[in-house]
Amino acid sequence: MTPNALLDIGGVAAILGTGLVALSVFLVRNRRAAELERLRDAQMLRDERAAHAATNADLLRAKEVAEAANAAKTRYLVAVSHEIRSPLNAIYGYAQLLERDDAIPPIEAGGVIRRSAEHVTNLVEGLLDISRIESGVLKLRQDVVRLPALLDHIVEMFRMQATAKGLSLDYRVEGRLPAFVRTDEKRLRQILINLLSNAIKYTDTGGATLTIRYRSQMALVDVADTGIGIAADDLERIFEPFERGGAPESALQPGIGLGLSITRLLARILGGEVTVSSELGRGSRFRLQILLPEPMTPPVGVPAYDRVVGYRGDSKTILVIDDNFAQQTVVQHLLRPLNFVVFAATSGADGVALAERCAPDLVLLDIQMPGSSGWEVAARLRAALGRSLRIVMVSANAHEFRAGNDGQSAHDAFLSKPVDLDALLDTIGHQLGLAWIVADDRAPDLGHASAALPAAAEPFLDGLRHHVKLGHVRAIETALAELEAAVPDSAGAVADMRRLLGAFDLRSLARRLDDVG
């Protein structure tokens, strides 16, 4: 074989070898690519399975949450239905008794109907407050509040309830208490009422104590009771909406579990906090720490919580524009005995025409009426009679709340129905700058001059003062009987004090004891 032939064969072999190497490399690469592709597919399959598992878990959790929410809604509707039906039944029943003239005392019927109506109102307001707080639309006011008077008023509110259960209710002020503070009065009142109401509701023996301390613009309020107590596991749970703790006794009490939830939320909005400590079976202590700054200068014309019997100065004219005749009647019966001249109209057009004739100092104006709305009527009144006219919106449309008196709105204040009559008087007094005459400002009853206590009665007075302070009605009755039996000349003064006790006017009774002493 020639050398050239050998070279040709060698070249072919080299080419073949190179091709085989290239083929081997190609096959190896293809295998690696295929392996990588298989691994990627496997990983994608695992990821897809994991995603499906996570989705299924999320769906299961969502289903469980939805079922729990549905069950909670059912429990809530049942509770709300019961809470509404109970007071409505009382209102309905007593109204029928009054219609049948079954000799039921009107004062008793009025008290039951009022308390039942307040219960329904508080329930509705609680639901609205939860909604407002969760949606971030709760509006706060900066009122100038007589703090001592507010606390006295709230404690007196619950003395009868405590006495009816045979409980004591003590009120203690430690150190200095400012005469005035700035805060949202309605919300502070709501917080204190919720705490005291729970203290009495969950206490069967012993009593409750409200203690307040004030330092550096901060108030520390403790509401302690000797009631059923709260289990450690429930100390935070009770602040959740619709939760009342796991104790069987809690389930037997009226309510749907909104009070403490609202109380804590409101306290935080007002710059404070509510905490609780408790021992099961021995009682609880709720502590409210809240910022209550004092105004720089003492305010003028802030109403107290005594019974208003009139006002000083010239007679004022009030115009009520409301299509609800019952609402007109309530306002007229409240204001006319206090020396107000009261006119009423049932529509916006009639109200504007009447206002031009009677020139009122203040208008109480409903929002929802036939024809023009209250907002339109307010604008027409403002345009016709100027800024000197005071306009107060009084409406059940709480969602349309606007504080007023902002330089842009036609009205000056807003009150939500149902209206607390004390709050209505407070607003009227503030808007018109009235100096109220309260029951204590009247000239003393000359009958009291002949009802002075003789010196022999002095040893009985300290005990009476102690019982009055604690609100122990039965103990007061016993002490008065003992005084009358031991000192016959005290009969006149004892009769006066029994009259005050019968009206449960313990504040006046305490002052009477100071007078005769």
From CA 413, how far away is CA 430, in angstroms rounded?
A: 10
Whether 165 and 283 map to the same domain: the answer is yes
**pLDDT grade, residue 468 (50/70/90)?**
confident
Query: Using one digit for the tens of pLDDT, what is the confidence trace for 70-86?
Result: 665 565 555 566 567 65
Flag whether pLDDT at 442 surpasses 50. no
Whether 149 and 285 map to the same domain: the answer is yes
Whether 148 and 287 map to the same domain: the answer is yes
Mean pLDDT (the chain) is 77
- Residues 322, 367: contact at Cβ < 8 Å? no
Flag whether pLDDT at 27 surpasses 80. no
pLDDT higher at 443 or 455: 455
Flag whether pLDDT at 260 surpasses 90. no
> Of the given ranges (43-47, 253-257, 304-308, 496-500), which has the lowest mean pLDDT?
253-257
Q: What is the mean pLDDT of residues 135-153?
A: 77
Q: What are phi and psi for residue 461, nearest 5 degrees?
A: -70, -40
Among residues 158, 285, 290, the alpha carbon closest in space to that of 220 is found at: 290
pLDDT higher at 419 or 273: 273
C-alpha torsion angle, residues 237, 238, 239, 242 (rounded to 10): 100
Whether 345 and 405 map to the same domain: the answer is yes
511 in any annotated domain = yes
Whether 418 and 488 map to the same domain: the answer is no
**pLDDT over 90 percentage in the chain:** 12
Residue 170 gets the label, from left (phi > 0), alpha (psi -120 to 50) or beta, of: beta
Domain count for the chain: 3
Query: Using one digit for the tens of pLDDT, what is the confidence trace for 36-55?
Result: 888 887 888 888 888 888 88
> Of the given ranges (231-240, 456-465, 503-512), which has the lowest mean pLDDT?
503-512
Q: What is the pLDDT of residue 446?
A: 36
Domain CATH number, residue 280: 3.30.565.10
401 in any annotated domain = yes
Whether 328 and 261 map to the same domain: the answer is no
Percent helix, strand and coil across the chain, each to the nearest 5: 60, 15, 25
Of 421, 437, 453, which residue is a domain's last?
A: 437
pLDDT higher at 107 or 151: 151
Whether 212 and 186 map to the same domain: the answer is yes
453 in any annotated domain = yes
> Of the given ranges (98-112, 244-258, 423-437), which has the lowest mean pLDDT?
244-258
Domain CATH number, residue 394: 3.40.50.2300
* Residue carrying structure tokens 């309510």: 255
**pLDDT grade, residue 441 (50/70/90)?**
very low
Tell me the pTM: 0.50
485 in any annotated domain = yes
Whether 182 and 220 map to the same domain: the answer is yes
Q: What is the pLDDT of residue 222?
A: 95
From CA 301, how far away is CA 435, in angstroms rounded?
A: 6
From CA 223, how far away is CA 284, in angstroms rounded?
A: 8
Whether 255 and 195 map to the same domain: the answer is yes
Among residues 116, 122, 143, the alpha carbon closest in space to that of 198 is found at: 122
Whether 338 and 276 map to the same domain: the answer is no
420 in any annotated domain = yes
Query: Using one digit for the tens of pLDDT, what is the confidence trace for 87-116?
Result: 676 677 777 777 766 556 777 677 777 767
Q: Residue 501: give the domain boundaries.
A: 443-516
276 in any annotated domain = yes
Of 437, 461, 484, which residue is a domain's last?
A: 437
Q: What is the mean pLDDT of residues 156-180?
A: 84
466 in any annotated domain = yes
Q: What is the pLDDT of residue 162?
A: 83
Q: What is the pLDDT of residue 257?
A: 61
Query: Using one digit for the tens of pLDDT, what is the confidence trace for 317-358?
Result: 999 998 878 778 888 888 888 889 999 998 888 899 999 999
Angle at 451 between CA 448 and CA 457, to 5 degrees: 135
Whether 486 and 501 map to the same domain: the answer is yes
From CA 517, how far away is CA 511, in angstroms rounded?
A: 10
Flag whether pLDDT at 195 surpasses 70. yes
Query: Using one digit for the tens of pLDDT, what is the confidence trace for 481-512?
Result: 888 888 887 877 887 787 777 666 677 777 77
Whether 261 and 163 map to the same domain: the answer is yes
